[in-house]
Structure 1
Amino acid sequence: MSCRQNHQYQDLRKQMVKGQIATRGVADENVLAAMRKVPRHEFVPEGLRQAAYDDRPLPIGSGQTISQPYIVALMTEVLRIAPGEKVLEIGTGSGYQAAILAELTDQVYTIEILEDLGHRAEQTLRRLGYSQVEVKIGDGYLGWEEHAPFDAIIVTCAPDHIPKPLVDQLVEGGRMVIPVGRGYGQELYLVEKKEGQIRQRGIIPVLFVPMTGEHTEP
């Protein structure tokens, strides 16, 4: 890629953050800096690179999408990730969200149920230098017990209920951001574990691809 193209993409990232994200209330400077830095165009099919910084999700193959930039930023901000915290992502997809997380902490674990998609995301992350991200092919509903507990969990696919294994794998004081529901009835929730109790708060209506796997039915 030429220096001119790199500068063009940098400008597009700055415009994306200013016009799509900051103006909608995302104010955490660490999150905004990560969104300005991570090359979103590297995580979409080559034919869609010119649309990589548009205000919309994009298809990445296998019936999956890369989320709208604003939603990525919002979910990341809601998690309030501190340096050194251990974070689990459910639904690796393109790997873009994992890269954003890796700009905020050096302990990022991500699970993708679709093998081809997961391997492709891992290759992209390695190529871009995000070696601290560990990728697993598996059923995200079950979490990643051998690396639990986690300070924060982010779920980028929608189950129809909050998976108990994920709640169990949160530390005391841990946070999880997760879309829940079916079709156009989905809501994004912040789930917090405090004093052994689970508290959840609705944030905004959303539309994510459904969570799949053997364990997704209640």
Structure 2
Amino acid sequence: MKAALSEKEGLASLVLRLRAEGISDNRLVAAVEQTPRSMFTPPQYMDLAYSPRSIPIECGEYMEGADLSLRLLHNLEIEAGQRVLEVGTGSGFTAAALSRIVERVVTVDRYRTLSQLAAQRFSRLGFSNIVVETGDGQERSPQEGTFDRILVGAAFQEMPRLFAERLVSGGKMIAAIGEADQPQTVVRLTKIGSRFEKEDLFSVRFQPLLKGRAAVL
């Protein structure tokens, strides 16, 4: 009973913080409520599951703080029936929350360990509309189809124009742009013809997007 109460209190606190920022998307709140972050959080950091703090996970990576994770999803402007590509599976929480709203999620991570652990969590929770892949999210073939939305949990040094061909017309992408040792800007890119229309959203500090599949881990 105590764990359930803690989960509810954490979610309630998160919702209040988001509303203070002007984010009151009931679909997102419901998606998070149905997808407990504690199930994606390492046991030793369970008390931080709904906090704004980033949380260390396997392979030297981090799970984004709850506030940032929901802010990114809010700005992705997802809708029912969409196909979403996530580059950077991490713990798997973001893909799981997305899958509560959209039709299909393809999530890619360069670390086999993270992909396998996320897939195990999805299986345990009964998700059937998430495809988990291990590899380089930048090297997907256009023949694999296009997406309505793309979310990248890492930073590009410059505009990621190669992703334009992977979006449908009018499709949107959320990514961070900037140098690795500097604050980066999260942008929303909307595909107009063969180019992107860019909107600056807010500042973050993300790790740079690395090329290739990890040789170990």
* Fold match by TM threshold 0.5: yes
Q: Where does residue 25 of structure 1 map in the other structure?
A: 22
In structure 2, relative to structure 1, the CA distance for the partners of 1:54 and 1:23 (3 Å cut) is same
Deviation at 1:212, TM superposition (A): 1.0
Are residue 99 (structure 1) and residue 96 (structure 2) matched?
yes
Q: Where does residue 84 of structure 1 map in the other structure?
A: 81
Q: Where does residue 211 of structure 2 map in the other structure?
A: 213
TM-score (norm 1): 0.90
Unaligned runs of 5+ in 1: none
In structure 1, C-alpha distance between the alignment counterparts of 2:5 and 2:114, rounded to whole Å: 29
Q: Which amino acid aligns with 1:92?
A: T
In structure 2, relative to structure 1, the CA distance for the partners of 1:147 and 1:27 (3 Å cut) is farther
Q: Which residue, 129, 134, 156 being the options, matches 2:131?
A: 134
Q: Where does residue 169 of structure 2 map in the other structure?
A: 172
In structure 2, C-alpha distance between the alignment counterparts of 1:111 and 1:205, rounded to whole Å: 24
Q: How many residues align?
A: 212
Q: Which amino acid aligns with 2:96?
A: A
Q: Which residue, 193, 198, 201 being the options, matches 1:203?
A: 201
In structure 2, relative to structure 1, the CA distance for the partners of 1:143 and 1:14 (3 Å cut) is farther
Q: CA RMSD in A?
A: 1.7
Deviation at 1:172, TM superposition (A): 0.3
**Secondary structure of residue in 2 paired with 1:183:** coil
Deviation at 1:146, TM superposition (A): 4.2
Q: Which amino acid aligns with 1:28?
A: D
Deviation at 1:214, TM superposition (A): 4.1
Are residue 152 (structure 1) and residue 157 (structure 2) matched?
no
In structure 2, C-alpha distance between the alignment counterparts of 1:147 and 1:82, rounded to whole Å: 21
In structure 2, C-alpha distance between the alignment counterparts of 1:125 and 1:160, rounded to whole Å: 32
What do the CA deviations read for 1:63-84 (whole angstroms, capped 9, x no partner)? 2111111211111111111101
Deviation at 1:86, TM superposition (A): 0.5
Q: Where does residue 194 of structure 1 map in the other structure?
A: 192
In structure 2, C-alpha distance between the alignment counterparts of 1:112 and 1:68, rounded to whole Å: 19
In structure 2, relative to structure 1, the CA distance for the partners of 1:153 and 1:145 (3 Å cut) is same
Deviation at 1:59, TM superposition (A): 0.6
